Structure formats: C-alpha cells, structure tokens
Amino acid sequence: MWILWAVLAAISAALVIVLTKAGLKNVDPSLAFAIQALLIVFITWAVVLYQGNFESWRGIEKNAWIFLLSAGVFTTLSTLFSYKALSMGPASYVATIERMSLVVAIVLSVIFLKEKLTWQIVVGGTVMLGGAILIALSDSGE
C-alpha cells in the first residue's frame, strides 16, 4: 500500500512544481510560499482533527520532536530555495536538479538509518545522478 501513497506523493510534487512555476509570474517566491504555507497548515491540521489524532502530540518523545522540528526547518528552506530557483529557471530543469535530493537521501539513509544498500539502489541512484547532470549541462533556453 505504501507504493500507492508514494506514487500519489510523486504526482502531487510534480503538480506543485508546475503550478508554482505558473503562479510565480510577478510574485516574490517567498511570498508565494508563505501563501501556500497557510493552506498547508490549515489542511494538515484539519486532517489531524478529522482523524482524531490531536491528543497524540502529548506522547511524542523528545528525540522525535527534535527530528520533526529539524525536518520542518529543512522543509521550509528546501521549499524557499526551490521557489527561488523556479522563479529564475525552467521548471523541468529545476525539478530535475532538486530531485537529486533522492540520491542524497539514499546516502543519508544508509549512513544514519542503517538501511540496506543493494545493487539496484546503487544503479538507480547512479542513473538519477547521470540524468540530472545531463539535464543540468544541456541548453535550458532561458
């Protein structure tokens, strides 16, 4: 079932890139993200309340708080950087280079989470890296 959710996340992320690029015309990237962040906060808390999970926040351990808040900081930075890049460059190029985070995530997952590194992951990561380099070095037209 996780694969379905991952595919839905990928489709949603692709739509975010395209819709944001379209919306950034004559709009400051930081302001655009601030506007979207309001919706993010509203929708996610609505889901938490709908699911009845609000009281669960009291049981979150200290280390989990540190990790989740740190991830929130990096989510914000990542989005701000991405929006700035989208305001300046073509969406297909920005998205490709930004998604190099997948390769970085593989490396960090192996180092810090002790996840198993298989030959398929190495080959897939290498292909992703090669594709991103190829696209980054091509003529963007902008």
Specify if 54 maps to a domain: yes
Asked whether residue 94 is domain-assigned, the answer is no
Q: What residue numbers bound the domain in which 133 lies?
A: 99-142
Token pair in block for residue 140: 């963007």
Number of domains forming the structure of the chain: 2
**19 and 80 together in one domain:** yes
Q: Do residues 19 and 60 both lie within one domain?
A: yes
pTM (two decimals) = 0.84
Same domain, 15 and 75: yes
**Amino acid making up residue 111:** I
Integer CA distances (angstroms), 21 to 79, 83, 86, 87, in order: 13, 8, 6, 7
**Residue 48 pLDDT exceeds 90:** yes
What is the residue whose two structure tokens read 């190829």? Answer: 134
Residue-wise burial string across 63-73, b where 16 or more C-beta atoms lie within 10 A, e elsewhere: eeeeeeeeeee
Indicate if 103 and 62 belong to the same structural domain: no
Cα 8 to its chain centre, rounded Å, is 13
**In a domain? residue 23:** yes
Indicate if 104 and 73 belong to the same structural domain: no
Give tens-digit pLDDT for 92-120.
899 888 989 999 999 999 999 999 999 99
